[in-house]
Homo-oligomer: A and B are copies of this chain.
Amino acid sequence: MANPSEQETLVPSSDSVSFLRHRPNSAATASSKTSLTSDQNSATDCGEDSGVDRSFDAGMRNRGEAEEEMKAAAEDGVECREGVARDEGKGAGVALPASFLYRASAPAHWKVRESPLSSDEIFKQSHAGLFNLCIVVLIAVNGRLMIENLMKYGLLIRAGFWFSSRSMRDWPLLMCCLSLPAFPFGAFAVEKLAQHKFITEPLVIFLHVLLTTAAIIYPVFVILKFDSAVLSGFTLMFLASIVWLKLVSYAHTNYDIRTLSKTINKDDMCSSSIDLDNLKSVSLKSLVYFMVAPTLCYQPSYPRTTCIRKGWVIRQLIKCLLFTGLMGFMIEQYINPIVKNSQHPLKGNLLNAIERVLKLSVPTLYVWLCMFYCFFHLWLNILAELLRFGDREFYKDWWNAKTVEEYWRMWNMPVHKWVIRHIYSPCIRNGISKGFAVLISFFVSAVFHELCVAVPCHIFKFWAFIGIMFQIPLVILTKYLQNKFRNTMLNYLKPGQVGNMIFWIFFSILGQPMCVLLYYHDVMNRKARTD
């Protein structure tokens, strides 16, 4: 061939045909495609950048068989056999001798093709391989850090953190803990009185307010008075908060049932389909069940399962123990040293602080995930199984949350349901705007987070409170970004990926380690002051 010009694009096919009529149909497609390519380019957009690409795509779409054939060839690594074999099959009735197979003269390049990374198809392919790479690299990096940690510190298990000498001095907290059940009985008494109309509605409400307030103030008082250890203090506050939430739900629901029954008594058009004793029933049994059941929303009865799967319960218990142990190990081995070697994140060198936070973020994340699995999956399921409690939806798949709002809605269903039922809905009902209702909900949540953390630590710097209230701007931000990126979609991101990533960054990388460091250092400073 004299000049490497346009018609050359046709040559390989004619070559391959002429040589040994090699791969006739693919050669045909190739030639037709290449010529197509050349036409399009020379005609429309030669010199323009995306020109060839586009025409390539045009080709790619309708080159099924050639592709398949190529793949098939690649399978057993023989480029040219396929074509010839096919020739043998249906090629002009000519039986080629075996020596014609595997010719070196068979062209290795017979059509215009793009590199995988140039074509847009790359974004449509699965990238399972890259996911695996991420996992493998994570394993490698974490494994290495574990070895480094082991060589640096050895094994660091001391019981002290879990059973300090102080926690012996915490019997008042235990007493307080044991006395908490008094409040539900009080609430029950109030309800009974209300039911038999011995006391007026306003008095009922007043008494309930009194009870609930006492139920949360009393433990706080005890903890602060007896200057308890952090862990036992936290446990007590945690239980007290649960009792508080349950009592509020109990009072609110019963109040609503009473009012409802009244209204129904009034308008007869409804009363047909109502059995009133169902509304009347304020049984001690149902209260007791509610107090122990893994839910915060009272209702006279719950969907139940029919039997307790003992083997299953035992398995879950074993898992629960194992993961709790793992959690403790991670805290002792990885989190403690990092935290000890850190300075206060808001004072001193910024770079250093960032380094500490990032280093801390990984173990805290793992501990958090363990904690979630142990408590929300294993423990609540065990409890539910033992009580034959039917509705096991204690969480949704929050790890796929597209916005921070979704996360708060999915990760802790008992509290979420409680908030919706006893804060958000009443707000809406009384004509408060959605946004403000959300604000109130987050405020309450923030107050309780602060109580549960600050009181046991004997520190009131409102880190937890701020942390929760900070979620509101985050909600708005992620929602905004979410919508923004849904419209102007990045090629390689499915919708919701951006929001999800932002959620993970704030949740695991910044949020938790920051809290840990802030509280740790304040607790330590306080210790230093008191001792």
> Chain B CB within 10 Å — which of A125, A127, A129, A295 has the most?
A129
Partner of A392, one of B110, B114, B306: B114
The answer on a CB contact under 8 Å between A505 and B136 is: yes
Contact with B along A83-105 (1 / 0, CB 8 A): 00000000010100001011111
Residues of chain B within 8 A of A301, CB atoms compared? 1, 4, 8, 11-12, 15
Partner of A381, one of B118, B397, B417: B118
Residues of chain B within 8 A of A377, CB atoms compared? 115, 117-118
- A58 CB-CB contact with B under 8 Å: no
Interface range on chain A: under 10, 10 to 19, 20 to 34, or 35 or more?
35 or more
The answer on a CB contact under 8 Å between A79 and B421 is: yes
Chain A, range 309-335, C-beta contacts under 8 Å to B = 309-312, 315
Which of the 9-residue segments A137-145, A156-164, A192-200 touches chain B?
A: A137-145
The answer on a CB contact under 8 Å between A500 and B286 is: no
Residues of chain B within 8 A of A496, CB atoms compared? 128
Q: How far is the CA of A476 from the CA of B325 in the complex (A)?
A: 39
The answer on a CB contact under 8 Å between A141 and B362 is: yes
Chain A, range 367-409, C-beta contacts under 8 Å to B = 373, 377, 380-381, 388, 390-397, 399-401, 409
Which of the 9-residue segments A183-191, A207-215, A222-230, A269-277 touches chain B?
A: A269-277
Residue of B nearest to A301 (CB): B11
Least Cβ distance of A22 to chain B in Å? 11
Q: How far is the CA of A151 from the CA of B273 in the complex (A)?
A: 75
The answer on a CB contact under 8 Å between A309 and B103 is: no
Contact with B along A290-311 (1 / 0, CB 8 A): 0000010101111111110111
> Chain B CB within 10 Å — which of A17, A255, A428 has the most?
A428
How often does this chain occur in the complex, in copies? 2
The answer on a CB contact under 8 Å between B420 and A78 is: yes
The answer on a CB contact under 8 Å between B260 and A103 is: yes
The answer on a CB contact under 8 Å between A358 and B143 is: yes
Chain A, range 333-387, C-beta contacts under 8 Å to B = 351-352, 354-355, 358-359, 361-362, 365, 373, 377, 380-381
Least Cβ distance of A144 to chain B in Å? 4
Dominant secondary structure of chain A at its interface with chain B:
helix
Residues of chain B within 8 A of A1, CB atoms compared? 281, 283, 285-286, 300-301
Residues of chain B within 8 A of A300, CB atoms compared? 1, 11, 15
The answer on a CB contact under 8 Å between A396 and B79 is: no
The answer on a CB contact under 8 Å between A94 and B307 is: no
Residue of B nearest to A366 (CB): B137
Q: How far is the CA of A390 from the CA of B47 in the complex (A)?
A: 15
Contact with B along A497-512 (1 / 0, CB 8 A): 1001100110011000
The answer on a CB contact under 8 Å between B116 and A397 is: yes
Residues of chain B within 8 A of A305, CB atoms compared? 9, 37-38, 41, 52, 112
Chain A, range 447-482, C-beta contacts under 8 Å to B = none
- A61 CB-CB contact with B under 8 Å: no
Q: How far is the CA of A279 from the CA of B8 in the complex (A)?
A: 15
- A48 CB-CB contact with B under 8 Å: yes
The answer on a CB contact under 8 Å between A504 and B136 is: yes
Contact with B along A426-441 (1 / 0, CB 8 A): 1011000010000000
Least Cβ distance of A404 to chain B in Å? 13
Q: How far is the CA of A1 from the CA of B497 in the complex (A)?
A: 48
Partner of A256, one of B17, B104, B256, B434: B104
Residue of B nearest to A276 (CB): B18
Given A12-B302, A303-B110, A500 and B132 touching (CB < 8 A)? yes
The answer on a CB contact under 8 Å between A144 and B508 is: no
The answer on a CB contact under 8 Å between B351 and A147 is: yes
**3 cross-chain pairs, A with B, having the tightest CB-CB distances, nearest first:** A102-B425, A144-B358, A108-B297
List 30 A–B pairs whose Cβ atoms lie within 8 Å, in order of A's numbering: A1-B301, A4-B289, A19-B279, A34-B304, A38-B306, A41-B305, A41-B307, A49-B312, A49-B315, A77-B416, A78-B425, A105-B253, A105-B257, A105-B260, A109-B297, A109-B302, A110-B303, A110-B391, A113-B391, A113-B392, A117-B377, A125-B397, A128-B400, A128-B500, A129-B401, A131-B131, A136-B505, A140-B508, A147-B351, A147-B354
